[in-house]
Chain A
Amino acid sequence: MPKAKCRTYQVASWLMLILSGSLFFSCQDEDCVSISNNDFLIGFVNADTLESGKIEYTSVDTLFYKVTAEGNDSVFYDWRTRSLTFALPLNPSSDVTTFHLEMLDSIRYDTLSLDPLTIDTTMYVNPMLQTISISYDQRQRIISEDCGVEISYINLNVDEVSFSSTEIIEDKLSRFNEVNLEIYF
């Protein structure tokens, strides 16, 4: 084979190798996985259970008339809610969120009505409005172009609380948190 032709074949072979090289470097996988959310979890702990060393969250004595937040018209919980822990959504547009918890002392159901479809309910509202004010730092990231933006909430701190005794258990929000703040009563 003539030398010039041989060199042409050589160069062509190299070029094919070069151009095919990029095929080995395909895009990286991007998973739409996030463990973050904006739910600040509170749990009410009966102080009596502390002495036993086994903390139990209770719903028996936790009765909300309503739970609201400053700057938000939504009522997050009302008297129909029964849960061991409560998720209070932190404001993504601020670094402080203040929640107002209006508690009930008790509810009385009047089942003696002649109309079986009507049950009179009487709620005894505790006159003391409970307040929890939480400050936090946010971290933003794009998970991937299709997945979108994730916000992580870290360095949670109780700035103001009207409950007599509380403790931050976990200072960052995660979907795997059991509770962030324990309230003892």
Chain B
Amino acid sequence: MRSTLKYIFSVLLLTYGAAAFGQVGKYAPTSIRIGADPGTLGYMVFSEKRNFFEVEAEMDIDRFFVVADYGVSSFDLNEDSYTYENDGSYLRLGADINFMDKDPDQNVAFFGLRYAMSSFKDQLDYNTSAIIQSEIGWPSGLESVENDKVSANWYEMVAGIKIRIVKQLYFGFTARFKLKLDVERTDSLRPYYVPGFGKHINNSAFGFNYYVSYKLPFRKKQVYIENDKVIEKKGNK
């Protein structure tokens, strides 16, 4: 996990540096926005089942954003007849298109696509007497099954908004339709939870994230209008 974080930060730093010193043009990046899901705090305080921490980084290129999300997650169930533990991390990579790129307040309404991958381990301990809809006919016993190194991948269609609250601070949400989940390297236990995807009930699911993010601009954004006249956008920097 530490190596993955190092990798992501390295990529972000390199991208930021390259963009900052690169040539100015229509497709030259003008800012990076870094954010986190504040829902983490809510789950940390109120949820005994789920905990996660997710950061998001995006770089704008004209009216597009290149986006990377990284998160770590744990999901635990402690019921009378069974316990379930799941720990892992996930990474989403993709791009968004901004439908409000000419907004003077620099708010964002976007639609995008993601490719997501997750790696995790999980374990189920259960009492055989509590197996659903079976009259077992055997003395009850405690059993344990686990998956050591599961990998999963899926795709997402996302849409959302980001509103500039003050200066460079943004608040928004991303709604996700996750589809074509593929889970690999499982043993006899079917994972109940996939970090970043949610409950593995079907191969598709809806998701929702809030984000608080901070924009780090490194040059003025230029807006190209129909007659190719360049107008500097008012606002940041």
**A contact residues vs B (CB 8 Å cutoff):** 7, 10-11, 14-15, 17-18, 21-22, 24-25, 28, 30, 32, 34, 36-39, 72, 74, 76, 89, 91-93, 137-145, 147-151, 175
Contacts and interface: CB of A to CB of B under 8 A. Distances in A.
B126 A149 contact: yes
B82 A72 contact: no
Interface residues of B, number: 43
Contacts of B206: 25, 28
B207 A25 contact: yes
Contacts of B164: 11
Contacts, number: 113
A14 B130 contact: no
Chain A contact residues: over half helix, strand or loop, or mixed? mixed
Interface of B: 77, 79, 81-82, 84, 105, 107, 124, 126, 128, 130-139, 141, 143, 145, 161, 163-165, 171-173, 175, 188-190, 192, 199, 201-202, 205-208, 210
A79 to B, nearest CB: 19
B134 A148 contact: no
28 contacts: A11-B165, A15-B163, A18-B163, A18-B172, A18-B210, A21-B175, A25-B207, A28-B201, A28-B202, A28-B206, A37-B134, A37-B135, A72-B137, A72-B139, A74-B138, A89-B138, A91-B138, A92-B136, A92-B143, A93-B138, A141-B189, A142-B192, A143-B132, A145-B77, A148-B79, A148-B131, A149-B82, A149-B130
